Amino acid sequence: MHDKDSVAVRAVVLAGGSGTRLWPLSRQQFPKQFLRLEGERTLLDATIDRLAPLVPTEQALVVTGADLAHGEAYTALTPYNTLLEPVGRNTAPAIALSAAWLQQEARARGDNSDPILVVLPADHVIRKPEAFRAALTEAIRAAADGWLVTLGITPDRPETGFGYIQAAGGRSPFPVACFTEKPDRDTAARFLEAENYYWNAGIFVWRASTVLTELAYHLPEVAHTVEAIRAAWGDQPPSHGPVEHHFPEMPDISIDYGLLEKSANVALIPCDIGWSDVGSWDAVHEIAEHDDDGNARQGQTLAVDCQNSLIHSDHRLVAAAGIRDLCVVETADAVLITPRGQSQRVRELVDTLKAQGGTEHILHQTVQRPWGSYTVLEERDGYKMKRITVLPGASLSLQRHQHRSEHWIVVSGTATVIRDDEELTVSKNQSTYIPIGVKHRLMNRGRIPLQLIEVQVGEYLEEDDIERFEDHYGR
């Protein structure tokens, strides 16, 4: 019997994602959860902040892709404990692995407690945090009794973009009768009238042992892979090596479809927490502050005689006159224009961009890296120009290229350059040259940011022409 008053509570924050729905601001290597849609905090930051004091920051585990953690999202993830998936396999494998990971951490410390896990997406907005924490408190009590608990959002419209959960009778927490995928308009209207259907927000609470036991019954292929990872850990703290080896064997399946729709042990707690999944630019308009004409304006914008529109500037002035019910989103390398009500079609645009071989869905023009950032200034056949910023004390990997040479011109700060067996100091207004095939490393040993212009020359200039020999950031 567990002592409910002293139970350990941990958070599992799911922070994968493909960066499609809020393109062009969101990209494949910098998806929605790392965006700052309101103020200076990312959606991930806000998700973890609102869990306190129920779950302190150090008790949260962020589950994300290794490619994100080693790329543009590195700095955004630095403050948090992370579990890195080598490949994306949907929510059921991510949740199973995180439950085993947290159990293994506890056991390695000599703690045999069975933590309760609050599992939630990293990229939602919740306007009523106190109501949210009250619902979580009730959910934690129910989870201590052995339930798989889900929060159900009280619907206020016949929404066709969300899944629904039907609650059976009785008192909260209600046993769950069934799950329904995104319904058509008439079905959603019936659900709203019935008053016992709730939006599925993807927020769950359960004991680690409860969810792992249920997964062993309903998804044995997931459980078998988890056990192989556990066996490799032995009595040691959890590590990523066995995860990298075994996790790709996992099936690609959601926790809803793989477990919750099949289990007879699911309970729902209804709540009104000001929730939005921020799943489209229409949703961003809905949650944003509006001017007197119903416009949501973000960044450097100018609006004359505009109504009920979203106008977002990320890089330069966006001026609009006489527009109605549009979403206009500008970044340095792309502009999106779509009628409100059709912003879900952004997926079609991204799919078309992929089919045409574009890269604007993958990276921003300015790309964040663990050591600083780079901005592509110009690219033509045979050459590419970048502005590179290296933070004080940071360094790029020791690397070489097979298809390009590089010319570096320092414009501020002082660069330390390793070039094969020699070490060079390159100051402002000076330059150096890295021939094809030469091992090299760029470092900033100074106290101010190092900025330089890089000119690449070669027949192939993509980022995968990097052979790394040593890297401080685990790439």
**Domains in the chain, please, with CATH?**
9-276 (3.90.550.10), 281-352 (no CATH), 370-470 (2.60.120.10)
Mean pLDDT, residues 411-430 taken together: 97
Statement: the pTM of the whole predicted model exceeds 0.75: yes
What per-residue confidence (pLDDT) applies to 1? 35
**Mean pLDDT (whole number) for 111-115:** 88
Burial class (CB in 10 A: 0-12, 13-18, 19+), 220: exposed
Q: Which tokens go with 49?
A: 């902040």
Average pLDDT over the chain, rounded to an integer: 95
Alpha-carbon distance 367 to 30, whole Å?
9
* Per-residue pLDDT tens over the stretch 161-173: 899 999 998 788 9
Closest-CA residue to 124 (of 328, 299, 278) = 278
The residue that leads in pLDDT, 113 or 15, is: 15
pLDDT for residue 19 is more than 90? no
pLDDT per residue as tens digits for the range 176-193: 999 999 999 999 999 999
Token couple for 234: 């032995």
Residues comprising the chain, all counted? 475
> For residue 468, what pLDDT is reported?
95
Which residue, chain included where needed, has tokens 């206009």? 328
Q: How confident is the model at residue 6 (pLDDT cuts 50, 70, 90)?
A: low
List all residues 6 or more positions away from 145 whose beta carbon is below 8 Å from its beta carbon.
Answer: none
CA distances from 237 to 108, 241, 244 (A): 5, 12, 15
Q: How sure is the predictor about 80, in pLDDT bands with cuts at 50, 70 and 90?
A: very high
**For the segment 258-299, what is each residue's pLDDT rounded down to a tens digit?**
999 999 999 999 999 999 999 999 999 999 999 999 999 999
In contact, 117 and 101? CB cutoff 8 Å: no
**Predicted confidence (pLDDT) at residue 332 exceeds the cutoff of 60:** yes
Q: Which residue has the higher pLDDT, 71 or 96?
A: 96
Structure tokens at 252: 């690609």
pLDDT at position 474: 79
Maximum distance among all Cα pairs of the chain, rounded to whole angstroms: 76
- For residue 22, what pLDDT is reported? 96
* Higher local confidence (pLDDT), 324 or 362: 324
Give the model's pLDDT for residue 291: 96
**Amino acid making up residue 238:** P
List the structure tokens of 348. Answer: 């079609």
Q: What is the pLDDT of residues 448-470, one digit of tens each?
A: 999 999 999 999 999 899 999 99
- Confidence (pLDDT) at 3: 45
Provide the pLDDT for residue 52: 96
pLDDT of 39 reads: 78
